A and B are shown apart, each in its own frame.
Chain A
Amino acid sequence: MIAAVATSLLLVVAGWPVAAVLDRRPAPLDRRLAEAYLLGAALASVVLFVHSGWSRASLLVPMLAISAACAWLGREGLGVTRCAVHWIDLATVVLVAGYARFATIGPTAETDFIGIWGVKAKEFWLAGGIDWKFLENPFNQFAHVDYPLLVPLVFDVHAVVAGGWPDRWLGVVNVGLGIATLLLLRAFLAEEARKPLLLALATLACVGVAFAPWIGLAEGALVAFGTAGLLFVRRGDVSRGALYLGLAAMCKNEGLTLIGAAAVAMAIAGNARKIARLWPAAAVVVPWMVVRSIHHLQTDLTTSGVGERAVEHLANLRPMFEAMLRYPVGRPLLWLAIAAAIVIGAREVGGRERFLAAAIALQLLFFVAAYVITPHDVEWHVRWSWERIVDQLAAAATFLALVLVTRRLDRQDPLY
């Protein structure tokens, strides 16, 4: 446990100056902590990605050197500003502690951790670098060898620092990502809700969507980076949001479509001229696409015959929709509440919040499009992915709903 906690703190320490470079001015503590963890994790992953012969020194020396350089470059932004707290935040802390216990009670038992994310991390850790032979071997296709590597590499950061494969403690990654997501949501909500009570209640409402129930999978990372990306773009910090969107695409392929969704949503929101500012997303993603292409790691959805499959499935959409009804997305109360908030704030959804609402809707359409071109049996594909991928949007959708509601409540009389 000590190694897992120390590694998480290391990521925060290393990422803090990187976040300061992006800010160039003191930021609220909650947002800075969240960004520091996310950027620290990304930095550590990049260091592992670009070299082999992993050791503590080969990870820590370049990581801390880059961090020190960023500390000098972003020295004006190293400080933080105070955040409002309320006693209700204690309830949030209790829930987070419960999740931390859940995530680390034993080795992660998720099938996709064992078959996709964990197996790659373990192979790389043993090989002391990215094991391209493992990824290229057709017998290992089951491990979705085309998936981006940020998440397995974060697991490897923990293994390298611990000096062994930390079976039980890899759930700490989920905890760190969940806390980062929650802090980011809170920081952005603080820009909307000025009353501490409202902010604390809104934060409490976000716990369920910030912490992914699938321990050891990439959903938690995709939600953290993707939500950060969307929320920074929403507030007009497009390049910074694009960096996070690029990192989301380094977690899972859905992150790629999220970049597209964000670009189209910007056009829908009347910011088409700013779309070029999304270039950092491409700068993060393109090198991986090139490397993936060099190693012939093909995505199953784009195997030959995309057009034929699309025509075939579009001619008969019934099996797909039936499967979506048969295997629902879960959390019906949450989605009903989000829908109600959208109805209440319909005018704002079509106005100030058009970007976020459009990005969420477009990403949902991309999910459906994936089922239209899938080479797998549609029912099988929907059954094993629909709930998880829709849940990737729950944090952003909950944020949208809370903004619509808290703005109204914030305008009313003080609650106390």
Chain B
Amino acid sequence: MRAMLTELPYRKLTGFRRFLLEVDRTTPRGARIAICLPFAAWEGGYGYGYHRASFLLPGKQVVPLLRLGADVPAPGNVALADFVACWHQAPRIDGFEVLWRSGDGVLMKRTR
């Protein structure tokens, strides 16, 4: 029951919790981490993940790649991030390199 309740809030994004716990473990305190999810709509999945990411990355600042609460891409926000955490995708982003990769996603780190 405890394990089920632990996963329950993240059940719609399989492996998301496990992925972000690993992101949390491998990034320094105060890191600014862009959350990259394969959803273009805020209410269609992105907001679900973004709301939960902050709780799983305490002491770090999550950065949205959609305008908050809207279905408008905000790719420029990548410039405000030190890391990009991509769940279930691995886009190429200029200025970032892959730090590690798992079955749940990819963590990229700023190189310049």
Taking Cβ atoms with an 8 Å cutoff, the residues of A that contact B are 105-111, 114-115, 118-119, 122-123, 125-127, 134, 137-143, 167-168
Interchain CB contact under 8 A, A107 and B5: yes
Determine which of B3, B6, B58, B64 lies in contact with A122 in the assembled complex, contact meaning CB atoms within 8 Å.
Answer: B58
Q: What is the minimal beta-carbon distance from B76 to any residue of chain A, in angstroms?
A: 13
| Complex contacts, B69 vs chain A, CB 8 Å | 142
- Given the known interface contacts A105-B2, A139-B61, A142-B50, the answer about A119 and B9 at a Cβ–Cβ threshold of 8 Å is no
Q: What is the minimal beta-carbon distance from A106 to any residue of chain B, in angstroms?
A: 3
A217 CA to B4 CA in the complex, in Å?
A: 20
A137 CA to B60 CA in the complex, in Å?
A: 12
Interchain CB contact under 8 A, B5 and A114: no
| Secondary structure dominating the interface of B | helix
Can you list 22 residue pairs at the A/B interface with Cβ under 8 Å?
A: A105-B2, A105-B5, A106-B1, A106-B2, A107-B2, A107-B5, A114-B52, A114-B55, A118-B55, A122-B58, A123-B58, A127-B59, A134-B61, A138-B68, A139-B63, A139-B68, A140-B54, A140-B61, A140-B62, A142-B50, A142-B54, A168-B2
A143 CA to B61 CA in the complex, in Å?
A: 13
Q: What is the minimal beta-carbon distance from A85 to any residue of chain B, in angstroms?
A: 33
Q: Which of B25-53 contact A (CB under 8 A)?
A: 29, 47, 50-52
Q: What is the minimal beta-carbon distance from B60 to any residue of chain A, in angstroms?
A: 9
Task: Please give me the 10 A-B residue pairs with the lowest Cβ-Cβ distance, nearest first.
Answer: A106-B5, A106-B2, A115-B51, A109-B8, A126-B59, A122-B58, A114-B55, A119-B55, A109-B9, A109-B5
| Complex contacts, B4 vs chain A, CB 8 Å | 106
Given contacts A109-B5, A110-B9, A122-B55, 19 further A-B contacts (CB under 8 A): A106-B1, A108-B5, A109-B8, A114-B51, A114-B52, A115-B51, A115-B55, A118-B55, A119-B58, A122-B58, A123-B58, A134-B61, A137-B61, A140-B54, A140-B61, A140-B62, A142-B54, A142-B68, A168-B2
| Complex contacts, A109 vs chain B, CB 8 Å | 5-6, 8-9
A141 CA to B62 CA in the complex, in Å?
A: 12
- Determine the residue in chain A with the shortest Cβ distance to B4: A106
| Complex contacts, A141 vs chain B, CB 8 Å | 68
Q: What is the minimal beta-carbon distance from A290 to any residue of chain B, in angstroms?
A: 26
Q: How extensive is the interface on chain B, given as a class?
A: 20 to 34
| Complex contacts, B8 vs chain A, CB 8 Å | 109
Q: What is the minimal beta-carbon distance from A123 to any residue of chain B, in angstroms?
A: 6
Interchain CB contact under 8 A, A126 and B51: no
| Complex contacts, B2 vs chain A, CB 8 Å | 105-107, 168
- Determine the residue in chain B with the shortest Cβ distance to A134: B61
A115 CA to B53 CA in the complex, in Å?
A: 9
| Complex contacts, A143 vs chain B, CB 8 Å | 54
- Given the known interface contacts A105-B1, A107-B6, A168-B2, the answer about A142 and B55 at a Cβ–Cβ threshold of 8 Å is no
| Complex contacts, A140 vs chain B, CB 8 Å | 54, 61-62
- Determine the residue in chain A with the shortest Cβ distance to B32: A139
- Chain B 49-89 near chain A by CB (<8 Å), digits 1 or 0: 01110110011011110001100000000000000000000
